[in-house]
């Protein structure tokens, strides 16, 4: 027997443990893990001594080439490759008309899926899609069978902005999602509370970004989460709370959660690594919704990642430029921050180096759990038979994050100047090297659309 590749002498990180072992890859698949003597002859051997060998990061929350992002698939997924992210789940937005829309006419959800699949033909990493319902038009329910058959097994809804759905319509979406055993993905902030507080800050001229968190407070996030998760439970729908930013919203998920078979949630790298003081230090560059919260909220998010109320860390990558962000009043700033290239080193530094979490924990929340939660069984693990999506990571290399290194079109980083210990050295996707020591070596178009399964949320799969 021979292999295309052997990664030798590294420390392999699985969701459960660390082991000193070699790993063999053939035909894009992991074929063996074991001691050096058991490895087949390989065309290429990568020496990983002193390094960690981890599954590629699976980021289930990115905005690339479509609504809310200036990144093309090529730029966005180049950033991902450099950051050790080998799969992502992007969004297919049902086109709507309104102030925030980028479309001239309404479109169907299936058109959105086809549009995003086409755009993804330039991807360097594998990608799936969430469908986003943006309008209260029941015609979308006639499309859901086809959408789920297309591998789009999760449906996103908003409670805020002009695309926010009423509880009544959302309630029906939960029923439709439950019927198809798909996943409902929720952005929860109570729109009327946020709008009223925003208007008050505007009226008072409180435009400095340090005031921004007061416009979208933690209780508004928790209130909307409570309504949504309660409806999901009544309908029997799987519920996933995205970008959970605070203790109050995470507590809601925990209150409704039993064993993770019905309710799950994520937080994002920036909520774990930063707090609201970033708005003083960085101004509107750091603005996203929900806002960054308090140091106590950061601690609570880690507690909930530890106890399982939250089980995933995503980026919510959005590639705005300085010009979109740096405005006089925070309410004129574009919302969203880029971090596909920095998520692994920043979260590693925060979770493992600063807070003492284990490497298996890191792999669970960034790789294994997102893959299992969203129906990507070949991803997020190094088990033989799965895709050879692998990161070789040096846990000891120190470097300073700078947007000058960004592959994304975003020309700033909220982690600018941050010194981190731990760096991505090599990223492999299905056995092919796509990033090598800070250089993108993958080809646009090598990344494939992933037809996602209906995920199995039974407790032993988390
Ligand atoms: Zn998002």
C-alpha of residue 61 to centroid of ligand 1, in Å: 6
The arithmetic mean of pLDDT across residues 295-301, rounded, is 98
pLDDT at 68: 80
- pLDDT tens for each residue of 182-205: 999 999 999 999 999 999 999 999
CB atoms within 10 A of CB 250: 28
Q: What is the pTM of this model?
A: 0.97
The 10s digit of each residue's pLDDT in 47-82 is: 999 999 999 999 999 999 988 889 999 999 999 999
What is the reported pLDDT for 460? 57
82: Cβ contacts below 8 Å, ≥ 6 apart: 341, 405, 407, 424, 427, 435, 438, 440
pLDDT at 18: 98
DSSP 34-53: E-GGGPPEEEEEEE-TTSEE
**Burial status of residue 54 (CB atoms within 10 A of its CB: 0-12, 13-18, 19 or more):** buried
- The encoded tokens of residue 391 equal 């990161």
Write down the mean pLDDT value for the chain. Answer: 97
Summarize the confidence of residues 367-376 as an average pLDDT: 97
Q: What is the pLDDT at residue 458? A: 87
pLDDT tier at 114 (50, 70, 90 boundaries)? very high
> Ligand 1 centre from 386 Cα, in Å?
28
Distance 332 CA to ligand 1 centre (A): 18
Per-residue pLDDT at 426 exceeds 60? yes
Ligand 1 centroid to Cα of residue 47, in Å, is 37
What is the whole-number distance in angstroms between the Cα of residue 337 and the centre of ligand 1?
Answer: 10
The pLDDT tens digits of the residues spanning 301-322 come to 999 999 999 999 999 999 999 9
Give residue 154's pLDDT.
Answer: 98
Of 406, 398, 390, the residue nearest 438 (C-alpha) = 406
Domain annotation for the chain: domains and CATH numbers? 56-382 (3.20.20.140)
* Residue 298 Cα to ligand 1 middle (Å): 19
Q: What b/e readout covers 276-293, taking b as 16+ CB neighbours within 10 angstroms? A: bebbeebbbbbbbbbbbb
Find the mean pLDDT for residues 25-29.
Answer: 98
| pLDDT average, residue stretch 414-441 | 98
> What confidence score (pLDDT) does residue 459 get?
78
Task: Give me ligand 1 centre to Cα 62, in Å.
Answer: 6
Residue 287, pLDDT above cutoff 70: yes
d(CA 283, ligand 1 centre) in Å: 20
Average pLDDT over residues 28-43: 97
Q: What would the mean pLDDT of 248-264 be, rounded to a whole number?
A: 93
Residue 229 CA to residue 249 CA, distance in Å, equals 11
Q: How far is the CA of 335 from the centre of ligand 1 (A)?
A: 10
């Amino acid at each position: 027997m021979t292999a295309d590749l052997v990664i030798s002498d590294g420390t392999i990180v699985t969701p459960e443990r660390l082991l000193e072992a070699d790993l063999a890859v053939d035909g894009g698949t992991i074929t063996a893990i074991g001691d050096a003597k058991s490895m087949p002859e390989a065309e290429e051997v990568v020496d990983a001594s002193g390094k960690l060998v981890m599954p590629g990061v699976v980021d289930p929350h990115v905005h690339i080439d479509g609504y809310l992002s200036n990144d093309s698939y090529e730029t966005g997924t180049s950033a991902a490759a450099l950051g050790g992210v080998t799969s992502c789940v992007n969004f297919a937005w049902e086109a709507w008309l309104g102030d925030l829309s980028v479309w001239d006419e309404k479109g169907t959800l299936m058109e959105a899926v086809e549009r995003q699949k086409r755009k993804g033909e330039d991807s360097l990493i594998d990608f799936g899609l969430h469908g986003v319902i943006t309008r209260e038009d029941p015609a979308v329910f006639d499309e859901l069978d086809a959408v789920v058959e297309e591998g789009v097994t999760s449906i996103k809804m908003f409670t805020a902005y002009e695309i926010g759905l009423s509880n009544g319509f959302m309630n029906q979406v939960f029923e439709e999602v439950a019927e198809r055993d798909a996943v409902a993905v929720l952005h929860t902030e109570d729109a009327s509370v946020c709008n009223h507080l925003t208007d008050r800050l505007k009226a008072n001229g409180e435009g400095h970004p340090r005031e921004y968190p007061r416009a979208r407070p933690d209780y508004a996030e928790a209130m909307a989460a409570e309504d949504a998760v309660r409806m999901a439970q009544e309908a029997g729908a799987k519920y996933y709370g995205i970008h959970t930013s605070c203790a109050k919203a995470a507590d809601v998920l925990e209150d409704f959660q039993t064993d993770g078979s019905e309710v799950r949630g994520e937080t994002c790298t920036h909520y774990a690594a930063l707090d609201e003081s970033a708005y003083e230090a960085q101004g509107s560059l750091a603005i996203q919704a929900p806002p960054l919260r308090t140091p106590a909220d950061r601690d609570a998010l880690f507690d909930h990642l530890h106890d399982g109320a939250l089980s995933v860390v995503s980026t919510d990558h959005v590639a705005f430029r300085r010009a979109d962000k740096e405005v006089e009043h925070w309410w004129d700033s574009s919302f969203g921050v880029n971090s596909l290239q920095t998520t692994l080193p920043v979260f590693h530094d925060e979770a493992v180096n600063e807070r003492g979490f284990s490497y298996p924990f890191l792999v669970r929340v960034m790789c294994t759990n997102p893959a299992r939660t969203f129906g990507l069984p070949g991803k997020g693990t190094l088990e033989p038979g799965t895709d050879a999506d692998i990161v070789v990571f040096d846990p000891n290399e120190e470097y300073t994050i700078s947007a000058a290194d960004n592959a994304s079109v975003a020309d700033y980083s909220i982690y600018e100047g941050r010194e981190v210990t731990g760096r991505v050295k090599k990223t492999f996707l299905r056995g092919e090297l796509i990033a090598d020591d800070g250089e993108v070596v993958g080809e646009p178009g090598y990344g494939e659309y992933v037809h996602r399964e209906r995920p199995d949320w039974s407790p032993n799969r988390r």
